[in-house]
A and B are shown apart, each in its own frame.
Chain A
């Protein structure tokens, strides 16, 4: 009926959690939340990209929305049908309509099967018994991806990485899929070959009216081929929008940081942009509030505190360490003594008790890159009291002091994906103050 108007793929609140178990009884002690509630729709003939750092859950998202793995929660509609309710026959049909290509072209072929057979395999699986027709299709496909029909008799090792990826593409297209899912299709290839493959995907997308889902960590790749892009961080989408809008005018600090981290091929424009400190947090214990707040270079200051953003960032880092009871005074003393002016050389192995409290405070501040004096007097007095408490091993008091003064909205409230114009949606409190009137749920974006 409304086949044309309806999106090809609708994903709503998709979650995939992996249990972390322990002991003989496999008691669940935690969950790695690889994908934690993502929603989007893929229109017919559209190319949609998911970008993110490694470990953000983008590949898991792809496998759970193609039912290679069963999602923990959420709904996936393909052509209006719920893929989780498919029986065996429907699933086979679905497998025909959705084809995948993977990152490593070397390991996606059987080394003992010639290319012709490899490309024909999906046809056999889908029940095409006519050998002549199979050969004709395979020959045609190989030529379409830039090889020759005579290559059918050759084996995978005779081809280069780029050629193998072309063959992978031919194999995926052999059964006329509606959706092509490409998981890092060019990451293993040289730049000179990358753009060839991307151009080929684009060509097929146009000629065959394919919908394409591209998973990549490379923003350049996504920019080249995608119509719309979702930026993923720790199992969630932080920003979704049309490619050019998103690249020209990113609304989420994470998108901005990712974009500025791409080395620009211009030697006159050096400097590495916004530096993101630290690594992606553990997905089994994601940070509260906005998941990016632990690395965000634009965390919102609490009311009544006035600090430079980088000092504020370091202060938050310090607070996290205090809360984890992870301030290692011994280590700080060891480093401090090494770098000090030999005033503690007489003591064999100095411990925190041996050194002057003022020195200790100075070293502690330098370990966390905090200035000797904060610009905001109120903040300074809280910090000083907290440091004194830490040195006196009164962690409880320090945690309370810091939490009372330095709690930001970013760590208490989880931001929702909200529209911010131009078809873009972003999940960031920074956009709340400007665009609070404009609230739309994600599924209606751009409509």
Chain B
């Protein structure tokens, strides 16, 4: 096993490889319940390359967490099932894997960190025990090597005096420190892909900044792919390379982070950006997410959209159209379809606030 710090991976060789690190195509994930089938994820296509951070943003209930859990099949099945679509990690199809194969993927090629660091550590075992457990599951090192590796990991995530802290219990760590420990556990087996589901939501802003900085550093050191789930557009702007905006189980808009913030093309993205304190001109987005058991026809955002026209409410969710012929930037909005005028959305005032002013400047 190579040392953890080694940095020799050739960036170009990996990212220009024929297959992406993670490829979701037309992924559906439904849950069977007594009162009907909940369509949590309803056709999501997404790729993550090595060394890249892709953020999924959306409100609660948009299906972003289920998407991330589908990748390693973390949810209970049944009631969850995947009626359609594929998940490929390094070219291997996850939906066809046996339990044993899945165990290799979880914590091996793909690691997770979650929102609540309190709940993710076992209070009756020491931190050292929990890190070593993760290492042991995926490698056969000697006892001394495992310990060395645990110390190194803790040092890398910025925990001072790592070797003496190995014998401490979770309650002796603060929230931010626990999240660092969890990151160390997630990195124990050098994952290719790190899935971070709201990793900083439970933390204070000052600690959030520390953790984001740490994730940024670790990612570039290891050329790791990262799928970052969050509802906070501020965090997205700081950490993501590409963004996928999710709503009601579908991706509404996808593109490089600069483009999404400079020229948001989906009315939902524009409305979300508008909700940011100091940026908004309207008070929130009126209405609620549609019921995932009985989804409306046409575009799912139509009922809350100020640009909705008649054909927004017919047929299926519009396909992903390119914005200004940029293959990187796609949006699922009828106004970008053939024969329609994207200006209806792009030139609207909402979400048009100048990025350089950071407060108050009301354009109305």
Contacts and interface: CB of A to CB of B under 8 A. Distances in A.
Interface string A176-211: 000000000000001111111111100000000000
Interface string A267-289: 11010110111010000000000
Contacts of B272: 191-192
B160 interface: yes
Contacts of A193: 284-285
Contact of A275 (B163, B177, B210, B359): B210
Interface string B158-198: 00111110000000001111000000000000000000000
A257 B204 CA distance: 12
A331 B232 contact: no
Interface stretch (B28-36, B68-76, B275-283, B328-336): B275-283
Interface stretch (A88-96, A101-109, A215-223): A215-223
A268 B209 CA distance: 17
Contacts of A54: 175, 204
B37 interface: no
A135 to B, nearest CB: 26
Contacts of B237: 263-267, 270
B271 interface: yes
B7 interface: no
Nearest to B258: A267
A338 interface: yes
A276 to B, nearest CB: 4
B177 A335 contact: no
- Most chain B beta carbons < 10 A, residue from A200, A331, A367: A331
B359 to A, nearest CB: 7
B206 interface: yes
A279 B207 contact: yes
B282 to A, nearest CB: 8
A217 B208 CA distance: 12
B164 A331 contact: yes
A200 B284 CA distance: 11
A219 B277 CA distance: 9
Contacts of B208: 261, 263
Interface stretch (B148-156, B306-314, B338-346): B148-156
A416 interface: no
Given A220-B277, A279-B207, A265 B261 contact: yes
A272 B213 contact: yes
B163 A199 contact: no
Interface in A276-307: 276-277, 279
A268 B240 CA distance: 11
Interface residues on B, range: 35 or more
B351 to A, nearest CB: 11
Nearest to A51: B205
Nearest to B201: A187
Interface in A59-84: none
Contact of A262 (B176, B234, B279, B285): B234
Given A224-B278, A335-B163, A264 B284 contact: no
A54 B160 CA distance: 22
B59 interface: yes
Nearest to B271: A192
Contact of A331 (B163, B207, B275): B163
B209 A272 contact: yes
A331 B161 contact: yes
Interface residues on A, range: 35 or more
B205 A258 contact: yes
A272 B216 CA distance: 11
B206 A261 contact: yes
B153 to A, nearest CB: 11
Contacts of B235: 263
B359 A196 contact: no
A40 B212 CA distance: 35
B257 interface: yes
Nearest to A199: B283
B330 to A, nearest CB: 18
Contacts of B238: 263-264, 267, 270, 272
A217 B205 contact: yes
Contacts of B210: 275-277
Contacts of B282: 195
Interface string B216-258: 0000000000000001111111101000000000000000011
Contacts of A276: 206, 209-210
B275 A194 contact: yes
A257 B355 contact: no
Interface string A341-358: 000000000000000000
B60 interface: yes
B271 A268 contact: no
B12 interface: no
A275 B205 CA distance: 10
A198 B276 CA distance: 12
Nearest to A317: B160
A279 B205 contact: no
B258 A268 contact: yes
Contacts of B232: 191, 263
Nearest to A221: B277
Nearest to A53: B204
A338 B5 CA distance: 12
Interface in B343-364: 355, 358-360
B273 interface: yes
B101 interface: no
A277 to B, nearest CB: 8
| Listed residue (B148, B206, B213, B235) with the most chain A CB atoms within 10 angstroms of its CB | B206
Most-contacted residue by chain B among A191, A217, A367 (CB, 10 A)? A191
A263 B215 CA distance: 14
Contacts of A218: 205, 277
Contacts of A200: 283
Contacts of B175: 54, 279
Nearest to A270: B238
Contact of B209 (A162, A273, A331): A273
Contacts of A334: 151, 163
A328 interface: yes
A162 B287 CA distance: 10
A223 B177 CA distance: 29
Interface string A133-171: 000000000000000000000000000101000000000
A247 interface: yes
Given A192-B275, A223-B359, A53 B164 contact: no
A190 B59 contact: yes
B164 to A, nearest CB: 4
Given A196-B284, A279-B207, A335-B151, A267 B358 contact: no
B96 interface: no
- Which 4 pairs across A and B sit closest by C-beta, in order of nearness? A196-B284, A220-B277, A263-B234, A199-B283
12 contacts: A192-B271, A192-B285, A195-B275, A196-B284, A196-B286, A200-B283, A217-B204, A257-B206, A258-B205, A272-B209, A335-B152, A335-B162
